[in-house]
Amino acid sequence: MSAVLPGKADYAGAPHPSGDDAFGTDASGADAATGGAASGTETEAEAGALAAPEAQRVESALQSARRASALWRRTPQAERSTALREIAAAVESAAHELADLNSRETGRLFDDALEGVRSGAEALRRFAELGLLRSGPSLAGAFSGLDFTVFEPRGVVLGLTSWDDPVAVACAVVGASLAAGNAVVLKPSGRCPALGRRLGRLFASAVPAGVIGTVTGSGAVGAALAEDLRVDAIVHIGSSEAADSLTQSACATGAHLVRGRPGNGVFIVDREVDPGWAAASAAEAAFRHAGQLRSAASRIYVLEDIADDFLEAFAGQARQWTSGERLGPLVDARARKDVHRVVAQALDRGALRIAGGAIPDGSGSYYPPTILTGPAATLEGFTEEVRGPVAAVIRVGSFGEAIAEAAHCPCGASATVLTRDIAHAQIAAAELPVGTVVVNGVAQGATGTDAPGLPQTGSPVGFGPRLLDELSRPKVIHLEPPVVSRPGPGLVI
């Protein structure tokens, strides 16, 4: 008897979350940055009581996803890949609209936002191909038996995404989830609800009802989704505080938690490196997207031999980033206040200001490129997540000291090392506790790079093939012929 594979008609019984309620718009249907349940000022970590309309959206999305997941998991891999390619095309066709929404809601420069959209479309295409090429190991068992591994979907994946690179991250989560055979419910950041709703509609346009749902709203929405037993896996890209809360939820429900690695990137400048090139690279690493990307380098370790020349060149880079159109505002005024608090604490402890470090007059959330230097003790605040265009430059006497200092503090997902010494490059690759070490380049946080990081609660991964593995369950199959068919000793078949 042949298996009956699902067609689109099989999804007809599932409520299609394509109306305003599913995507979190307000009663008037407003879809602008100021409309909807979330004003864009609430972060993922803040969760209060769940309002009745939000509870209704959560329930509708989970019901639809649960029903659709049972059918999507049986959809042939080739059809899943085709759907991902269609989603990628839809995202790419709306690239300018999505970039404009991203820019208006989070302040990200349009060109940077457009690059994020294109990166997201590429991630969708990559997962479309990875799904087709996937295979597990086979084992040498009995002569007439087979032992092999297959990958099964987890079920319903909850994607909780941040505002710093919202399109690229959401596309990666959707790509890996769908390629693995899961249904997915997305909860975008409350800081970019209109972008989340528009992106959700594009995602849902190419798959059957319920396979992809998007729910916007307050932090309580994310908490309610994470605490629901119908969620089988959670992918979280956001603050450390929210990740800690999700760890508790996942332990209570048994959901598999996949989390982005917390902390900022580190940057090491070895001796004999050209100071001008090093300064330009450091500025790109620290100031791009106003220092709000998770790959941003907030701590820079420089060998004493070239520290003075590097600081002079780095200050010149800060002036260029200030005078040009390369630096946009922070996501909101509260983010600026948080960044300035870290800078002010360092200055109070004796750090020296090389550039920036003051809130400009007037309204808005712009913060200037800021460079501080001094002993590590004065810059202790930079060992935590700092989401702004600020860099702490720490002088070290040797490359080994730079590695030790960098490894002693939380390093985030990536590290950049500029060196002309191949032995130093190998030492950095072996010793730095990060997922990605970039030698003589700049870590960009690309969605195609795995960044597994260190073992911790939840699985910290990047957006490459390993995310596909995390959203699947491996199963070993042992297969033997029936007893009557088994060859005996000396039997010729």
Query: What's the CATH number where 350 sits?
Result: 3.40.309.10
Write out pLDDT tens, residues 283-325: 999 998 899 887 789 999 999 999 999 999 999 999 999 876 7
Instruction: Name the 3-class secondary structure at 224.
Output: helix
Average pLDDT on 466-491 reads: 79
Mean pLDDT of 109-121: 93
What band does 457 get if pLDDT is binned at 50, 70 and 90?
very low
Query: Higher confidence at residue 35 or residue 288?
Result: 288
Tell whether 211 and 341 lie within a shared domain.
no
Among 45-54, 71-80, 316-325, 437-446, which range has the highest average pLDDT? 71-80
Domain total of the chain: 2
Q: For residue 229, tell me if it sits in a domain.
A: yes
Residue 462 belongs to what H/E stretch?
none
User: What is residue 226's predicted lDDT score, i.e. its pLDDT?
Assistant: 94
> What pLDDT, on a 0 to 100 scale, did the predictor assign at position 461?
46
Could you tell me if residue 88 is inside a domain? yes
On the question of pLDDT at 43 being above 60, the answer is no
Helix (H) or strand (E) holding 44: none
Helix (H) or strand (E) holding 144: none
- Phi, psi torsion values for 173, nearest 5 degrees: -65, -45
Task: Say which residues have a Cβ less than 8 Å from residue 294's Cβ, sequence separation at least 6.
Answer: 162, 164, 165, 237, 260, 261, 264, 265, 412, 413, 445
- Say which residue the tokens 């997962």 belong to: 127
Average pLDDT on 181-205 reads 96
Q: What are phi and psi of 139, to 5 degrees?
A: -115, 150
Question: Which has the higher per-residue pLDDT, 201 or 2?
Answer: 201
* Weakest mean pLDDT among 134-148, 211-225, 263-277, 358-372: 134-148
Share of the chain above pLDDT 70, in %: 82
pLDDT digits (tens, 9 = 90+) for 352-372: 999 999 998 888 899 999 999
**Which of 154-158, 417-421, 439-443 is predicted least confidently?**
439-443
pLDDT of residue 491: 52
Note whether 435 and 458 are same-domain residues: no
Residue 134 resides in a domain: yes
Residue type, 46: E
For residue 336, what are the domain limits? 265-439
What is residue 17's predicted lDDT score, i.e. its pLDDT? 41
Reported as a pLDDT band with limits 50, 70 and 90, residue 147 is confident
**448 occurs within a structural domain:** no
422 pLDDT above the threshold of 90: yes
Least confident of 13-22, 105-114, 400-409, 431-440: 13-22
Q: Which residue has the higher pLDDT, 83 or 324?
A: 83
pLDDT for 323 equals: 74
- Residue 197 is given by DSSP the state H
205 and 330 in a single domain? The answer is no
pLDDT above 90 coverage of the chain, percent: 58
Residue-averaged pLDDT of the chain: 84
Question: At 158, which CATH number?
Answer: 3.40.605.10
* pLDDT band of 145, cuts 50, 70, 90: confident
DSSP classification of residue 90: H
Q: Is residue 31 part of a domain?
A: yes
**How many beta carbons lie within 10 A of that of residue 317, not counting itself?**
22
Asked whether residue 88 falls in the same domain as residue 154, the answer is yes
Residue 87 lies in a domain: yes
pLDDT over threshold 70, residue 446: no
Say yes or no: 161 and 195 in one domain: yes
Predicted local distance difference test score (pLDDT) of residue 175: 96
Between CA 183 and CA 403 the distance in angstroms is 42
Identify whether 485 is part of a domain.
Answer: no
Res 26 pLDDT > 60 = no
Structure tokens at 466: 């390993």
Asked if the structure places residue 190 within a domain, the reply is yes
Tell me: do 174 and 272 sit in the same domain.
Answer: no
184 and 279 in a single domain? The answer is no
Give the pLDDT confidence score for residue 8 in this predicted structure: 44
Nearest to 287 by CA among 393, 369, 383: 369
Average pLDDT, integer, range 197-210: 96
The span from the CA of 88 to the CA of 92, in Å, is 6
**209 and 343 part of one domain:** no
83 and 117 assigned to the same domain? yes
Are residues 257 and 271 part of one domain? no
Mean pLDDT of 155-160: 96
Confidence of residue 453 (pLDDT cuts 50, 70, 90): very low
Among 60-74, 346-360, 393-407, 471-485, the least confident range: 471-485
Q: Is a pLDDT exceeding 80 seen at residue 16? A: no
Question: Is 251 found in the same domain as 157?
Answer: yes
More confident residue, 287 or 4: 287
* The predicted structure's pLDDT at residue 324: 63
271 and 245 in a common domain? no
Could you give phi then psi for residue 143, rounded to 5 degrees?
A: -55, -45
